[in-house]
Each structure stands twice: as C-alpha cells, then as structure tokens.
Amino acid sequence: MKLGVCYYPEHWPKSRWLQDAQDMRDMGIEYVRVGEFSWSTIEKEPDQFNWAWLDQSLDVLHQAGLKVILGTPTATPPKWLVDKHPSMLAVNEQGQPRGFGSRRHYTFASLEYREECRRIVTIMAERYGNHPAVVSWQTDNEFGCHDTILSYGAADLAAFKIWLKEKYGTIDALNKAWGNIFWSMAYRSFDEIELPNLTVTEANPSHRLDFHRCCSDQVVAYNKLQVDILRKYSSGRDLVHNYMGFFTAFDHHKVGKDLDVASWDTYPLGFLDQEAIYTAEEKQTYLRTGHPDFGGFHHDLYRGCSNGRLWIMEQQPGPVNWAPHNPSPALGAVRLWTWEAFSHGAELVSYFRFRQAPFAQEQMHAGLLRPDASKAEAAGEATQVNQEIDQLASALGIARNELEALPSSGKVALMFDYDACWALDIQPQSQAYRYLFWSYRVYEALRELGLSVDIIAPKSDLSTYEMLVLPAQVTVDDELLAQLNAFEGVLLAGPRTGSKTESYQIPEQLAPGKLAQIMPLQIERVDALPDHTQLDVNGRWGQGKLKHWHEQIATQLPVLLEDEAGLPVLVGEQKRFYLGSCLDNSLLKTSMAKLAELAGLETTYLPRGVRLRERGNVIFAFNYSQMEKCFTPTYVGYKIESVIGSERLAPAGVSIWLKHKTV
C-alpha cells in the first residue's frame, strides 16, 4: 500500500525540483511517474537530444529516495514528426484526419509511426534502463483516450486486409462467415475489402466486429513492440500501462498479458457527471464522492488483467477540467477513494497530479499542490492515509510492506468479455441496453450485498469460486462450455448469453447456443424495450420490474420469476440458472442474494451508499453518501476489532476492522 504522484519536472524551474521532492517525501509519497508527454522536450529537432533535464530530475528524485515510473513519450509525438509522416494521423469515421495540437494524434496501425516509437523507446531504454531510480516503465499513455482506437485511414485498411487474410485464408471463407450473400456484399478478393465506415446505411455487423477486433489487435502489437524493447534494456522493472474508466474499445485482457501490472486512472466525479449509465438521482446523491461502485468495478476488472497486480496510476485529487461540470470532492473523498483502491488489492495509489499547471489545457485541473505550490486539500488527505497505513500494519502486527500480501480475491466471479461488449454495441437491438452498463449493474447488486467480487476474463480458472455470473457471454464455444460444465459452484447466465457465433451469426439451435447443452432452454423471441418501459415481474424469488431486454424462454426448467403474462424470466435448478431479462436493481439484488445463499456465501443488505470489502481478515467499509450511516459487520463465528473509524460512518467516511475467529 504505497502512495505516488504524477510529476512533470519539465513544467517547473529546475530550482524547484528539490523542494518538490522533499514535499513529496513529507506527504509519504514513494513513487513518481514522469516523462510520458515529454517527447518534444527530449527531441526538439530530429535526432538532437536534450537529456540534461531528465538526467538531473531523475537524480534529484533518486537522491530524495523516490522511485520513478518512467513513461515512454509516445502519446504525444512532436510536430516535426507528424509533418514528416502525415499518414500516421488517425482518421475519424467521417474520413477526416485528426490534427496536431493536443495529444494521441496517431493511429496504432501506422508502421511508420511504430518505427519512430521503436527508435525513441530504444534510445530512452538504453539511457535509463538501469538507472537506480527507475523501478517501472509505463508504455505510452491511456491507449484509446479521445476515441482513438478505431481509425479509418490507409494504414488501418492495410492492416485490416492482412489481419483478414490471416484469419480466413480464402475470400470465400470470409464471405460465408460474414453472410455476404445478403445485399450482394460478396468480395472477390481481400484487395477489394474496405473499412466499415462511410457506407450508405449500417455496415455488415460481422465486418464491423472483425474490424474492431483488428483495431484492438493493433493496440496489442503496438504495446508489445515497446514492451520487448523495455524488457531487453531494463530487465526486472515492472511494465505497466494506465487504462481508463468505462473504456472497452480494446481488449485489456490481451494487452495485459504482456505487462506485469495493470493500472488505471480513476476520476470518480468526472465519470459520474459524464457517463450515461448514471441516473439524474445518482448524479445528485453522489455528486461529491462518485458512484459507490465506480472505483470497485474498475479495480476488480483491471486486477483481473495482469495476474492480480493492480496500481492506480492517476487518482483524482480535486476538481478536474474535462467533464461537462467539475464539482469539488467532499472533504475526505480523496482518502475514501485511496482506501477503496487498497481494499481491492491496489499496491500503489498515485495522484494526478502533484502540482496544478497554470497553463494549457488542464489549468483548471487540481493537483496536490495549487499552481502557487501551496498545499491543496488533497495533500492533507494523502498524508492522513499514509499515517493510517502504518496504523493498519501495526494492528496486524506486520511491517508496512507486508500489507501487499493480504489476499484480494473474492469468492464470486463476474465474467467480463471485451469481444461481447463490441458485439452487443454493434447491434444493441434496444438502445437502452449496453453490455458494459448491464455488467456494472450486476456488479453493483453483488456489492450492495457486501460480496467481494473478482471480474475475470473468459477462459480464466474458475476453481476458486463459489459463484459465477456471466452478464451476457455472447459467444459460448466448446472450451467455455466444458469449463462451465465442470464448474462446481452456482452459475448464473444472463440475457444474450450464447446468442451469437464467433462470426456474428445466430446459432443454428438459436440462443443460448451451446449453453443449452447444460441449461435446457431456447430463446424464441426478444422484446427489446425503450428506456421508459418497465414490466412487472413476480415469482418465488420476489417481485419487481424488468427493463431494456426481455427474452421469451421456452424451457421445462423450474420458473423462479415470471413476467405479467406468466412467461419465464429467471429459470433453473440446483446450481445452474438462466436470467432472460435485465432486472431492476432491487430484484436483481434479491435474486443475487438467493444465488449467493445457494453458493453458501454470507450476504448483508448494506445501507444505501455503503460498501464493504474484505482482504484476508481485514474488513473495510466506505460511506459514499452525504449522510452519516451506522454499520457494524457481523460474521458467524467471528468477533470484530476496530482499527480505524467506528460503526458510525461519516459522509465520505472509512472504517477498518479486523476479523478474529471466536472458536
């Protein structure tokens, strides 16, 4: 449990660096990320390098005992480089190149740009690979930020043709897989293929899905190119990339395989304001703390992307600048977010940024320091967390650096599949339905019951889980089917599971495709509803509403919930269940509680806005609401010892307890 900051020495006079380093140390900061946007400072003219500032700033940080995460500067290529290779620019869906003057002005598929990346990363890695301050490298910055994964230029088309040839071998195989007999779309050769933009009406969904997969694979290859260089010149350092919130445009599981740690950038208030998933009421209630599951959902998702190792590379420290509205966090919210991250297994929480910049795009974005270097509110909260980490370690009777060994996995797994997300976004059928949002609401229901959840990739090991939820596992292939069949815990498959083949066609036996082999049922029709329509649901497992998506299920399985017409909504027996509709929050929660009970898991109906997380025998509670909440965790056969806070949780409050066996 360590603290860090994002720092830009190139933004400040050299005379300030030592003071900054000392201030960081005083706040308990151990890690500093530098360099990720510094290409034009390093290489102002082609092949003319200015290393002095980076040499000196790394030395200052090192002498102060700080550890450096060095960013490769490839998210911001300099102007001269773009002018040299204009075809490296990404092209938007309307066919226009995206210009210079901000950042991320490149397409992942550009081979010319990849060569430039190879050059600059090699030079940097040779120079700093063994620098004693450098303990880690961040590749690039936020792949895909500002909508830069799908690009529609010549470089992207060239990459797509190669990708398709490798996948299909023959054009006939592609035509068949895509169903190109429809609307006379058949191609005679791979050379004829175009990108799925600028078509008169909707392009073929199979075409779009393959294009999305190809673009995602370009990100994987682009990242891998940098990883290979860094491993060669800087062995033993942790390689990491910083992912984003509610961002699914590339397969993070695939990128994560090449990295040592998954990190992400968490801006709870910015996302609350900006995202369509949140209701007006939620935006009001959680205005200053963010939604209670925003942090947890992403911590658990990204922890599953790199073998369980998680960092927070950028933590919101105050108001940001980029959301439609940018309110201030509640007093204590920065502390709350930091502890929530640690409770989900984060090894590091690093604040963005150390000092607010008085210039350029992000001048209204807070830092731990204000532009005049005085301490902003979050500096005190970071210092407080630093002291509390010591308190927790001493209550456990272990050294501070041993806290990382506390287990962070839960007993419930939620399967998250990027491919399913693209597939369902391509043809949502009801605009009210989004795979990501539905998965988030399922996660929310589990967390409101006090359950600790792991969000896992398809094909992950299932053996440690008592309960598994597939929110909408669109494609069920033989391998997944065998795994599900062997799974001994309680399984819930959600609506749209098994509804498409890998090439985006309806399976011969209809949805849920191969899943029907272990859950005998068939989906005969779908009622895809607008946002304003909710239908009544009743049954043995409770009553409430369904919305967005409602399948007509034909089955002999016992019916646990049914719709107004008496048709099945939730069916199953023993340990296998199928849900054909999106349920409202409260019915979803009671259904999850029944499943958890069948799985032998203890649940608690938490007060609104309160969340709970366990790591080994440490219990964390968080209050995201604006009111004080009373909550004492109870476990059969255990007694509870308070370490930080009490059963009275102030607004934005945190309490930590230890759980001891009584027998």
Residues at the site binding ligand GAL, with contacts judged by CB under 6 A: 141-142, 145, 265, 267, 314, 320, 322, 352, 362, 365
| Cβ atoms 601, 593 nearer than 8 A | no
Residue 392: φ, ψ to 5°: -65, -45
In the bound complex, what is the minimum distance in angstroms from residue 325's beta carbon to ligand GAL? 14
Phi, psi at residue 96, to the nearest 5°?
-100, 135
Place of tokens 């350092």: 237
Rounded to the nearest whole angstrom, what is the least distance from the CB of residue 8 to ligand GAL in the complex? 10
Please calculate the CA angle 472-473-475 and round it to the nearest 5 degrees: 135
Smallest distance from ligand GAL to CB 663, Å: 49
SS3 readout for 360-414: CCCCCCCCCECCCCCECHHHHHHHHHHHHHHHHHHHHCCCHHHHHHCCCCCCEEE
- 146 or 660, CB closer to ligand GAL? 146
Whether 485 and 508 have beta carbons less than 8 Å apart is answered as no
Cis omega (within 30 of 0) on the bond before 292?
no
Q: Which of 36, 43, 314, 448 is catalytic?
A: 314
**Per-residue burial over 544-566, b = 16 or more CB atoms within 10 Å of its CB, e = otherwise:** bbbbbbbbebebebebbbbbeee
CB of 244 to ligand GAL, least distance (A): 6
For ligand GAL, give the closer residue by CB, 141 or 285. Answer: 141
Smallest gap, in angstroms, from Cβ of residue 108 to ligand GAL? 17
Q: 75 and 140 in contact (C-beta within 8 Å)?
A: yes
Tokens of 504: 């985006």
Please say which residue, 268 or 645, places its beta carbon nearer to ligand GAL.
268
Q: Taking the complex as a whole, how short is the minimal distance between the CB of residue 142 and ligand GAL, in angstroms?
A: 5
Cβ proximity to ligand GAL: between 318 and 539 the closer is: 318
Closest CB to ligand GAL among residues 269, 619: 269
Nearest CA-CA partner of 270 in 331, 219, 333, 357: 333
The one catalytic residue among 36, 43, 116, 142: 142
In angstroms, what CA-CA distances link 402 with 339, 386, 399, 439, 661? 16, 15, 5, 33, 22
Query: Distance from first CA to last CA of the chain, Å, rounded?
Result: 31
Q: Is the peptide bond before 335 cis (omega within 30 degrees of 0)?
A: no
Query: Left, alpha or beta for 34 (phi > 0: left; psi -120 to 50: alpha)?
Result: beta
Give me the least distance between CB of 612 and ligand GAL, in Å please: 28
Distance in Å, CB of 69 to ligand GAL, minimum? 13
Distance, in Å, from the CA atom of 169 to the CA atom of 173, rounded to the nearest integer, reads 7
DSSP H or E run through 265: strand 261-266
Query: What minimum distance in Å lies between the beta carbon of 361 and ligand GAL?
Result: 8
What is the Cα–Cα distance from 414 to 301, expressed in whole angstroms?
9
355: which 2 tokens? Answer: 């000092």
Decide if 314 is catalytic: yes
**441: exposed, middle or buried (Cβ count in 10 Å: 0-12, 13-18, 19+):** buried
* Residue placing its CB nearer to ligand GAL in the complex, 72 or 497: 72
Q: How many CB atoms lie within 10 A of CB 661?
A: 9
CA 161 to chain centroid, in Å, comes to: 30
Could you tell me which of 82, 4, 8 has the C-alpha nearest to residue 38?
8
Residue nearest to ligand GAL (CB): 142
Nearer to ligand GAL, 2 or 365 (CB): 365
Instruction: Decide if 282 is catalytic.
Output: no
Residues known to be catalytic: 142, 314
